[in-house]
């Protein structure tokens, strides 16, 4: 809770009522709590996979599950990180500078452009995941001599 002294707006939105915060946004703290649950699940999956690897057995479904959990945590925490500041871009205490004060209104950004940006981010994340899957699990990456 040291962060609360520096950024009370973010802490209140992320902590939510469970940790004593008074969030102005209702969508951020459930994502944060979900990510924490997924981190605990990833820790358990990782510990089991490590134990199996130390015993000489590689459990492929556990490795795939760990990868999927990692990506879900990444996406959720990015939403938490950015969403906890909404509607401000820069914060100062319990307030900040709203995004609409920083936008150049002579260059309108249509909703289609925003959807295109979000879709391209998701598409490239899927492409990266597929390449990572083929590289690590299908062994399409060349082996290097040590």
Q: What is the mean pLDDT of residues 135-142?
A: 67
Residue 123: pLDDT band with limits 50, 70, 90: very high
pTM of the model: 0.64
Evaluate if residue 88 carries a pLDDT over 90: no
Q: Phi/psi at 91 (nearest 5 deg)?
A: -110, 150
Does the pLDDT at position 29 exceed 90? no
Residue 111 placed within a domain: no
**pLDDT-derived band at 97, boundaries 50, 70, 90:** confident
Residue 8: per-residue pLDDT: 74
Does some domain include residue 140?
A: no
Nearest one of 105, 106, 86 to 97, comparing CA atoms: 86
Residue 90 forms part of a structural domain = yes
The residue among 122, 133, 137 whose CA lies nearest residue 58 is: 137
Mean pLDDT of 119-141: 82
Place of tokens 């205490």: 93
Residue 105 belongs to a domain: no
Whole-Å CA distances, 4 to 19, 61, 68, 85 = 12, 40, 31, 14
Closest CA to 63 of 53, 74, 73: 53
Residue 115 lies in a domain: no
User: Domain total for the chain?
Assistant: 1
Domain that holds residue 42: 3-100
Reported as a pLDDT band with limits 50, 70 and 90, residue 28 is: confident
- Contact (CB, 8 A) for 29 and 13: yes
Decide if 139 is inside a domain. Answer: no
């Amino acid at each position: 809770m040291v962060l609360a002294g520096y950024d009370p707006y973010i802490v209140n939105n992320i902590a939510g009522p469970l940790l004593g915060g008074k969030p102005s946004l209702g969508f951020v703290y459930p994502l944060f709590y979900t990510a924490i649950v997924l981190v605990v699940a990833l820790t358990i999956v990782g510990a089991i996979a490590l134990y199996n690897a130390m015993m000489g057995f590689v459990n492929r479904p556990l490795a795939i599950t760990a990868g999927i959990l990692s990506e879900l945590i990444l996406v959720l925490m990015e939403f938490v990180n950015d969403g906890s500041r909404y509607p401000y871009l820069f914060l100062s205490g319990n307030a900040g500078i709203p995004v609409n004060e920083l936008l150049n209104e002579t260059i309108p950004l249509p909703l289609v452009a925003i959807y295109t940006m979000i879709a391209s981010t998701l598409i490239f994340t899927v492409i990266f995941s597929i390449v990572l899957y083929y590289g690590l699990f299908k062994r399409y990456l060349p082996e290097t001599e040590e």
